[in-house]
Structure 1
Amino acid sequence: MSTTDTTTVAAYAAPAAKAPLERVTIPRRALGERDILIEIKYCGICHSDIHQVKEEWGEAPFPMVPGHEIAGLVAAVGAGVTRHQVGDRVGVGCFVDSCGTCENCVEGLEQFCLNGATGTYPIGPDGEPTYGGYSTHIVVTEDFALKIPEGISLEAAAPLLCAGITLYSPLKRWGAGPGKKVAIVGLGGLGHMGVKIAAAMGAEVTVLSQSLRKKDDGLKLGATHYHATGDPETFEKLAGTFDLIVSTVSANMDFDAYLGLLKTRGTMVNVGAPSEPTPINLFSIIGGDKTLAGSMVGGIPETQEMLDFCAEHGLGAEIEVISADRINEAYDRVLASDVRYRFVIDTATI
């Protein structure tokens, strides 16, 4: 593709809300002075891609090219680029720009840019659509491309750009480590990375899942214990057990029951995003001086830290690599919880 003019590249897009994705061509901007062109090699399928395509998080622009778990190689660089060179292994996560000057950006919390971070998709601050990683190439500002260490394959690294940092950030912030008992609620695309990362941090990890169907997997991934939340006795047996609970569940749940599993002054962090409001009895927090918190992805510095941590500990996502013509099938399987544990698109098949 040309690097001097706006051009078109192949991609997979949803033409309308709830419509199957299909092969299209999309525009990519010309390289600016501090831009890099990335030849995308792999892109993970995140559950949030499905939420967006189905317009479950509000009105969205179409056609929509999802994808914010991007791993690839630098194919070209702008004249002023200093952070990356052609051939570098790089990744792009959930956002591709921010103002760079507000309080949050200065602190490395670009995801909370007070002037609005630009998501990898579906729309930019100017109201124009942005297109994600279900594509052969993407152009981003150099500061928003992460270095993928050699210790992780590109395909296993792709989901780390969302699933990995989404779990790393709260586990680090709320002190997962030696002597701490951590529960991960849900063993899916997010949860399996939570188990791996919490165990690598030195915590005693428990998986709380609806059934024991994935127990063997959970223990292999690093959990010490595995309990079924579908069994009411679980909540009696584990009452007051955990220092930290991280819930990856995107459906409404009984928060009062889960808060009862925390120790005094324990914390429950929610990274799942239910589409409907969730009721809670505040006495579940007040009794025991507990905290119910939320967490999103990390900023650029923390995401790089996460990638380096995963490389150091030999961590990558558990993946099933698929061709692009199987994206719609993969969406159906994600909704049926029929993936262990992340679909990754081989973009050479687009």
Structure 2
Amino acid sequence: MDNSSLAITEVVQDEGEYLSKTWDSALFWLNAVVVPLLGCVGFVFNIFGILTLSYMGITSSSTMYMLIICIGDIISGFVDSILTVGIGNWYTNLYALSRFSCKFLMWINYATTCSTQFVLTLFTFDRLLAVTYPMKYRSLKTNLRYPVICSAVVVTLTYLSLIGNMYAFDLVDGQCAKPTYMSELGKEIYFHYSASFIYCGLPSTLIFIFNFTILYQMRKNDKNKKSSSTKSGREQAITRILLLMSFAFLLFTAGCMFFLYTSVIYLGPQLDGGDPWVGQMYVAMAQLQELPSTANVSFNFSFYLMGSKMFRKGFLDMLQSYFCCRKAGRQAEMTRTGASSNNNINADM
């Protein structure tokens, strides 16, 4: 080998080491800073959502669903981004502490993430009933136990449907991974069941169908002057909020599944060649899925603000009442109540 070939080899090795260090640094900042920070932002946003809804008053099944989603997103964001990702990078990998922690956390992590998505699906179906059967929906609208019971049932079923994680994950060479006692076919089937169907396929399909029907029914109702005149601005605003949340969920879920499938299906088989660059790309794509997954539970509060004038006003009044001066808050509340009485139900939420 001549000197020029040796020089080229050294340059390639140096570039490979540089790229490797760059990827390691980028992945560290992604998992140790970006994802936990996004989870903390979601935690604060959802707390603001709970405070605002409590301040305005939980008076309908729709606002109860919004409250339940805020609470569920706090739990999901904490478990998914702070407890497992953040602490795993700054302190220790909680999944690898023991067989129990591996199995239990994989079950809880999957179930908390998926359960909030199915509550959003319930909320979408609630809006479908509201725009399709407005007269019959009146009894459900004021029944605050109905969303609590339905959400509890759906969350319980979600946890039960993913209890297979207790079998499908185990400690393998110090890492929480698919166990050796499962066949390759079994691993593939369970992956598509837990990720493709429970996480993405079923909720996404239902939400898409429900939203398409809602938009069709709203357009149909707009042509009916009588139906349109009896629909309050509050109901329209709640529907706008739901549509923003639903389409954001579809976008974030699509992004998450893109990263997941790219890493597992496309890059995974190429690891047999032993290419370190492919291995780093595999890890990077698998970990990038945390971003849209975390964003999915972090920004619902912003959709509440964008979709509702009354919610924005309630948020500002709440800030004045809780964090500024209670006298100003009481005056704002009296003004809001008086304006609502004078304008009947024409106020836009």
TM-score by length of 1: 0.23
Greater share of strand residues, 1 or 2? 1
Greater share of helix residues, 1 or 2? 2
Higher relative contact order (CA 8 A, sep 6+): 2
Rg larger in structure = 2
